[in-house]
């Protein structure tokens, strides 16, 4: 048995609908996902498939399509690959309680480099500077994630690179709040669960 990961330690899998496993996929490009998560405070979880985990950052304001915006991205624990499909309501008293939707999903190409040579994404994360080209429904083109600040409390910044997909006016965080998988909003997911509870005669 592998040692319990931070992800596993934080969750009770008989209570949360979140996935436990991490099925490997064959071939093709690595994937990314942005999950809108209305927990204690609203944020967007930006995750990149790197090896057999999803490297993860919580972005309070969500990704911007404007290269002038520097969006704070707080690193969070690695998530299992199956999490890329997760949409649902994390119950009260569980870690991260609140609705989650797949706000955007797609594949990415690694643009990270060091000294003119391509740098593996895992090494790029380790070094604190990752560049990727996203092919999603709402997000496309180059993005950079860069670690800044002190050693004790790492902060990262997520910034759109200047390319043809950059657009200072688009702002998909406000214009496209829905899930790309189901069309639902975080409010819909939260309301669905209340309705399901009522149907079963349980109290809220």
Which residues contact Mn ion by CB under 5 A?
Answer: 37, 45
Cβ at position 58, least distance to Mn ion in Å:
5
Give the pairing type, strands 155-160 and 71-80. Answer: antiparallel
Question: Shortest CA distance to 181 belongs to which of 103, 106, 115?
Answer: 103
Strand partners, 42: 38
CA–CA separation, 22 and 14 (whole Å): 17
Please choose, from the candidates 55, 57, 71, the residue with its C-alpha nearest in 3D space to the C-alpha of residue 22.
55
Closest to Mn ion by CB, 96 or 165: 96
Question: Residue of minimal CB distance from Mn ion?
Answer: 37
CA dihedral of residues 59, 64, 68, 71 (deg, nearest 10): 0
Which lies closer to Mn ion via its Cβ, residue 45 or residue 87?
A: 45
Least Å from the CB of residue 4 to Mn ion: 20
Shortest distance, position 36 Cβ to Mn ion, whole Å = 9
Q: Which is nearer to Mn ion, 105 or 119 (CB)?
A: 105
**Contact at 8 Å (CB) between 7 and 80?**
yes
- Which CB, 73 or 139, lies closer to Mn ion? 73
Least distance between Mn ion and beta carbon 168 (Å): 27
Torsions phi, psi for 147 (to 5 deg): -80, 135
Query: Whole-number minimum distance, CB 98 to Mn ion, in Å?
Result: 8
Rounded to a whole number of angstroms, the minimum distance from the CB of residue 126 to Mn ion is 22
Nearer to Mn ion, 40 or 200 (CB): 40
Question: What tokens does 192 get?
Answer: 């669905």
Nearest CB to Mn ion, comparing residues 47 and 184: 47
Q: Distance of CA 92 to CAs 17, 97, 98, 108, Å?
A: 12, 5, 7, 34
């Amino acid at each position: 048995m592998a040692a319990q990961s931070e992800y596993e330690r934080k969750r009770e899998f008989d209570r949360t609908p979140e996935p436990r496993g991490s099925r490997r996929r064959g071939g093709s490009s690595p994937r990314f996902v942005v999950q809108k998560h209305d927990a204690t405070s609203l944020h967007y979880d930006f995750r990149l498939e790197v090896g057999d985990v999803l490297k993860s950052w919580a972005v309070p304001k969500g990704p911007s399509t404007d290269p002038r915006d520097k969006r704070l991205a707080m690193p969070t624990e690695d998530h299992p690959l199956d999490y890329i499909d997760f949409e649902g309501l994390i119950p009260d008293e569980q870690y991260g309680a609140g609705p989650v939707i797949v706000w955007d999903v797609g594949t990415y190409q690694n643009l990270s480099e060091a000294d003119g040579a391509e740098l593996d994404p895992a090494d790029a994360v380790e070094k604190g500077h990752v560049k990727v080209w996203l092919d999603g429904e709402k997000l496309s083109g180059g993005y950079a994630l860069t670690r800044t600040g002190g050693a004790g409390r790492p902060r990262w910044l997520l910034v759109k690179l200047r390319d043809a997909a950059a657009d200072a006016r688009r702002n998909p965080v406000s214009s496209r709040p829905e899930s790309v998988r189901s069309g639902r909003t975080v409010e819909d997911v939260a309301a669905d669960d209340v309705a399901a509870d009522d149907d079963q005669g349980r109290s809220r």
